[in-house]
A = this chain, B = another copy of it.
Amino acid sequence: MQLLEERIRRDGIVREGGILKVDRFLNHQMDIGLFEEMGKEFARLFAGCKVNKILTIEASGIGIACIAAQQFGCPVVFAKKSKTKNIAGGVYTARVESFTHGNVNDVIVSRDFLGSGDRVLIIDDFLANGAALSGLIELVRQAGATLVGAGIAIEKAFQPGGDRIRAQGVRVESLARIQSMSVENGVVFC
């Protein structure tokens, strides 16, 4: 998606250690006009797939998922990273290792909000090692729901997550795929 690639070139910052900061527009400050265009693109890619639920994970996937959901006319469910007092009863659970935070979380979704009748589109901001996406796919599988696919804003295609998950037969659509990046030369897209 040209608009997103241009924005990454303009406002993204590459740091040592494979870190791409996009917090000016994507995951700290959020450009809602950009999210609207991304939502339209997800709707075009997954048109006719009868998506009736969008699944994402807190925190930075939520904004993109909510704006995209307007295009699909469906609710969003976000997986939570820890069990709080407010979730009683049955939950689906998967373990997710966070590259960004350097820790491991159980991610959970209430059984009330994901079930066998659902046709689920997963939406998230980043795909790199694929840990978060694999966890969300596991939640969909536990629910017996149909996984339509995954819509990702930015895929670090030089990391193994995307290839690994596509090899499992999951449709993964990334709006911007990064082939390589470095502090010296910035970002190169696929």
- A161 beta carbon closer than 8 Å to chain B: no
Which B residues are CB-close (under 8 A) to A21? Answer: 86, 88
Are A101 and B84 in touch, CB under 8 angstroms? yes
- A135 beta carbon closer than 8 Å to chain B: no
- A112 beta carbon closer than 8 Å to chain B: yes
Are A77 and B28 in touch, CB under 8 angstroms? yes
Known: A58-B58, A85-B19, A86-B19. Is A29-B63 also a contact (CB below 8 A)? no
- A62 beta carbon closer than 8 Å to chain B: yes
Q: Chain B: which residue is nearest A77 at the CB level? A: B29
Can you list 14 A-B pairs with a CB-CB distance of less than 8 A?
A: A23-B110, A28-B77, A28-B87, A29-B75, A29-B112, A30-B66, A30-B76, A32-B74, A35-B66, A58-B59, A62-B62, A63-B65, A84-B101, A85-B101
